[in-house]
């Protein structure tokens, strides 16, 4: 896939986005936030439907018959995404403090957040085993050190893909790694002037296979290509709003 074509579309979007009606743009951004929250939590097994997610976030209506944990997962994800946008508006580069803050927001009222695991874990269905003990701790520290290096050596789409894929490969927290990683991915995209993307729960198999390619074989391209396709669709949609 031609990432250069997508970067050119991003430049075009940023040059025309002021022409998009503000109410229209706000409604699309609000719809994205809702869809992103729904998909990201549903990928991890949350059973709230898109409509139930809307009722909870937009209308403040509690959903009967759902576990309290599922309600908190949705509410917390919405808060975490708002925190991402706040940090980006303040032009803060991604760092360890922001990652821990995001995980703490995601796990509020569910479990203690922002604390690295010291237990061994297995990822169901995956062929690789995440590092444990000091090995995990050293790798997550190396991840933060490599953020600056990778930013200079990778294009923005590959950089966002690497941030996500490497983070979930290390799996630094007991729970919430996937939701955190998808927020980090969008953090990097938005910081580079690109649009945030949402991986549909229906596409979770392709998504998991691409991440497994990276974790087991070190191949980033399948996940980068998946991310690039989503990014191009978003850019085409938003550019069309300016016409």
pTM for this one?
Answer: 0.95
Query: Given its phi and psi angles, is residue 23 left (phi above 0), alpha (psi -120 to 50 degrees) or beta?
Result: alpha
For a pLDDT cut of 70, what percent of the chain falls above it? 97
CATH number for 230: 1.10.3290.10
Residue 77 is a catalytic residue:
no
Q: Identify whether the C-beta of residue 233 lies closer than 8 Å to the C-beta of residue 203.
A: no
CA-nearest of 15, 3, 1, 80 to 238 is 15
The tally of domains found in the chain comes to 1
CA–CA separation, 184 vs 207, rounded Å?
Answer: 16
DSSP character for 192? T
Domain that residue 49 falls in: 3-241
Q: What is the pLDDT of residue 124?
A: 67
DSSP letters for 39-61: HHHHHTT----HHHHHHHHHS-P
- What would the pLDDT profile of 96-153 be if each residue is shown by its tens digit? 999 999 999 999 999 999 999 987 776 666 667 888 888 999 999 999 999 999 999 9
């Amino acid at each position: 896939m031609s990432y250069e074509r997508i970067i050119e579309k991003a430049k075009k979007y940023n040059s025309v986005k002021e022409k998009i009606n503000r109410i229209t743009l706000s409604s699309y951004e609000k719809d994205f936030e809702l869809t992103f929250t729904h998909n990201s939590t549903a990928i991890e097994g949350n059973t709230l439907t898109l409509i139930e997610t809307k009722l909870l976030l937009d209308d403040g209506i509690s959903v009967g018959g759902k576990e309290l944990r599922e309600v908190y997962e949705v509410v917390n994800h919405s808060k975490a995404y708002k925190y991402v946008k706040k940090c980006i508006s303040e032009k803060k580069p991604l760092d360890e403090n922001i990652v821990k803050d995001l995980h703490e927001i995601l796990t509020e009222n569910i479990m203690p957040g922002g604390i690295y695991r010291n237990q061994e874990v297995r990822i169901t269905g995956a062929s690789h085993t995440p590092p444990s003990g000091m090995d995990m701790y050293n790798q997550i520290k190396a991840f933060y050190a490599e953020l600056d290096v990778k930013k200079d050596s990778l294009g923005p789409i590959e950089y966002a893909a690497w941030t996500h894929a490497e983070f979930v490969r290390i799996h630094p927290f007991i729970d919430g790694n996937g939701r955190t990683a998808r927020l980090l991915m969008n953090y990097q995209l938005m910081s580079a002037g690109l649009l945030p993307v949402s991986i549909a729960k229906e596409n979770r198999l392709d998504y998991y296979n691409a991440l497994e390619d990276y974790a087991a074989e070190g191949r980033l391209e399948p996940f980068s290509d998946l991310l690039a396709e989503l990014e191009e669709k978003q850019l085409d949609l938003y550019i069309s709003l300016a016409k």
